[in-house]
Amino acid sequence: MNLHTVSDLTKTKQVSTAQTQDDVVRLDDVTVRYRAPSERIGTFKEYMIRRLQGRVQHQDFLALDEVNINVKKGEVFGIIGKNGAGKSTLLKLVARVMKPTSGRVWVKGSVAPLLEFGAGFHPELTGRENVYLNGALLGFTQRQMKEKFDRIVDFAELWDFIEAPLRTYSSGMVARLGFAIATDVDPDILIVDEVLSVGDEAFQQKSLERMLSFQQQGISILIVSHNMALIQQMCDRVAWIDHGCLEMVETPAETIQAYREN
Amino acid sequence: MGKTEESQIYDSAKQTSPALEELQEIIRYRDLIIQVVRRDILTRYKRSFLGVAWTMLNPLGTMIVLTIVFSQAFGTGFSYAAYVLSGLIAWNFFQQTTNAAISHLVWGGTLLKRIYVPRTVFAFSALGTGLFNLLLSLVPLLLVMVITSVPIQATILFLPIPILFLAIFSLGVGLLVSALAVFYTDIAEMYQIILTAWMYLTPIIYPEDILPEQFRVLIAIFNPMYHLVRLFRAPLYYGEIPSLEELLISGLIASVTLIIGWIIFTRRSDEFAYRI
Quick check: is B71 in a domain?
A: yes
d(CA B147, CA B136): 18
ipTM, two decimals, is: 0.78
Strands B9-11 and A237-242, how do they pair?
Answer: unpaired
Query: Touching check for A147 and chain B: CB below 8 Å?
Result: no
Quick check: is B12 in a domain?
A: no
Mean pLDDT computed over A110-119? 71
Residues in B closer than 8 angstroms to A95, CB to CB, are 114-116
Quick check: is B72 in a domain?
A: yes
CB pairs below 8 Å between A and B: how many?
A: 125
Residues in A closer than 8 angstroms to B272, CB to CB, are none
Q: Does residue A61 carry a pLDDT above 60?
A: yes
- Mean pLDDT of the residues in chain A: 81
Model confidence pLDDT, tens digit, residues A165-205 = 999 998 888 888 888 887 787 788 988 877 666 567 777 77
The pLDDT score that the predictor gives to residue A38 is 57
The pLDDT score that the predictor gives to residue A85 is 85
Pick the CATH number of A6-110+187-261 from 3.40.50.11860, 3.40.50.300, 3.30.465.10, 3.30.930.10: 3.40.50.300
Quick check: is B4 in a domain?
A: no
Q: Return the residue of A nearest to B181 by Cα.
A: A44
Q: Does residue B69 carry a pLDDT above 90?
A: no
Residues in A closer than 8 angstroms to B270, CB to CB, are 98-99
Quick check: is B9 in a domain?
A: no
| DSSP 8-state code for residue B79 | -
Beta partners for A77? A222, A237
Quick check: is B3 in a domain?
A: no
Residues 38-57 of A with CB under 8 A from B: 42-45, 47
- What are all long-range contacts of B246-252, with beta carbons under 8 Å and residues at least 24 apart? B247/B161, B250/B162, B250/B165, B251/B165
The pLDDT score that the predictor gives to residue A97 is 85
Give which of B1, B24, B112, B193 to mutate to test A binding, by max A Cβ within 10 Å: B1
Residues in B closer than 8 angstroms to A165, CB to CB, are 46
How many structural domains comprise chain B?
Answer: 1
Q: Does residue B266 carry a pLDDT above 70?
A: yes
Q: Return the residue of A nearest to B182 by Cα.
A: A44
Residues in B closer than 8 angstroms to A100, CB to CB, are 12
Q: Does residue B255 carry a pLDDT above 90?
A: yes
Nearest to A99 by CA among B268, B175, B29: B268
Domain that holds residue B75: 18-275
Residues 178-217 of A with CB under 8 A from B: 185-187, 193
Quick check: is B198 in a domain?
A: yes
d(CA B221, CA B199): 16
Binary contact (A107, B9; C-beta < 8 A): yes
Helix ranges (DSSP H) in chain A:
6-18, 44-53, 87-94, 127-137, 142-156, 171-183, 201-216, 228-234, 252-261
Q: Which pLDDT band holds residue B260 (cuts at 50, 70, 90)?
A: very high
Mean pLDDT computed over B255-276? 87
Quick check: is B125 in a domain?
A: yes
Mean pLDDT computed over B100-127? 84
